[in-house]
Structure 1
C-alpha cells in the first residue's frame, strides 16, 4: 500500500507535468491506477500501481484522488505566494 509521501514523491519525479486526475484502467483482470493530466496539448498518464481486487482498487482510487487534490491545492498556494512576492 502506498502512503501519501510516496505518492507525492512519485508525482514530483515528473515535476514539470501537472496532474489533474486519477483514473482506473482494467488490464488482465487487474486494476491499474494512473495519474492523468494535459500539458502543452499533450495528454499524460503516469502509472501509479496495480491492484488485484475491485474493492481495494476503488478504495485506493478515492484515496489517490484526495491526495492529488491536496497536492494541487498546495502547489496553487505556493504559486500565489510567489506571485505576491513579485
Structure 2
C-alpha cells in the first residue's frame, strides 16, 4: 500500500495500456524549478516520470508508454494540480 503524504495524489487512466488503472502520482522538485511527476501503480511499481515543457507538451523522462498515454496522464495531472 502506498503511504499518503502531502502532494501525492491518484489519477484514473481511461485508455491505453493502463486502462482502468489508478496511478499514484508523486510530484518531485527539480533544480530548475519545473516539477516532475513520478507515476506508480498501487503496488508501488514505477511506471514513468513526466514533465510539462514550457510549450505545454507533456514529455516522458523515463518509462515506455505510448505518446497518447503520456498525454492522457499529463492532462489528468494538470487537472489535479490546477
TM norm. shorter chain > 0.5: no
Could you tell me the TM-score, scaled by structure 1's length?
A: 0.32
Q: Which has the larger share of helix?
A: 1
| Greater radius of gyration (CA) | 1
Structure with more relative contact order (C-alpha pairs < 8 Å, separation 6 or more) = 1
